[in-house]
Amino acid sequence: MCIIINNTGSDLAGVCTYEVRINNELIATFEHARPDGLSECLYKAGLAVSQQVDNSATKASDLLEYVLENVRLRKALEVAWDAMHERRNYAAPSWDWKYGREWDKEDEKVKCALKGGIE
């Protein structure tokens, strides 16, 4: 494994953009003025990589939370679907006549949500 810090700019006296690579994969970029010296360059490279890793971890954490929230929501919708059908099984036939249309609307909303649509 090769760690490469490369100056991608042409102004050797001013501030240039540098990139940090591992083998051929770009890991991070940062700004550095060559007159500030090698230790400052290495410090900035380490900082840039650290920030990139933190950003990636945050994105991964946010994605995981999103997935878990969708799993919880889907489970709640499935429970609601089951409860609605159980309600119909226990309700007297006269209730279905009286509330049937409203129940059908509720059923359709949950069914649509379970399929991923919004109504």
pLDDT of residue 9: 77
Confidence of residue 96 (pLDDT cuts 50, 70, 90): low
Average pLDDT over residues 74-94: 70
Q: Does 97 score more than 60 pLDDT?
A: no
Query: DSSP alpha helices (H): ranges in 31-118?
Result: 38-90, 93-115
Q: Looking at the predicted structure, is the pLDDT value of residue 110 above 80?
A: no
Report if pTM > 0.85: no
* d(C-alpha 88, C-alpha 113), whole Å: 20
**DSSP per-residue string spanning 20-51:** EEETTEEEEEEEEEGGG-HHHHHHHHHHHHHH
CB 3 within 8 A of CB 42: no
* Phi, psi for 88 (deg, rounded to 5): -65, -35
Q: What is the dihedral of CA 56, 61, 62, 66, to 10 degrees?
A: 140
pLDDT tens digits along 22-44:
888 898 899 998 888 888 888 89
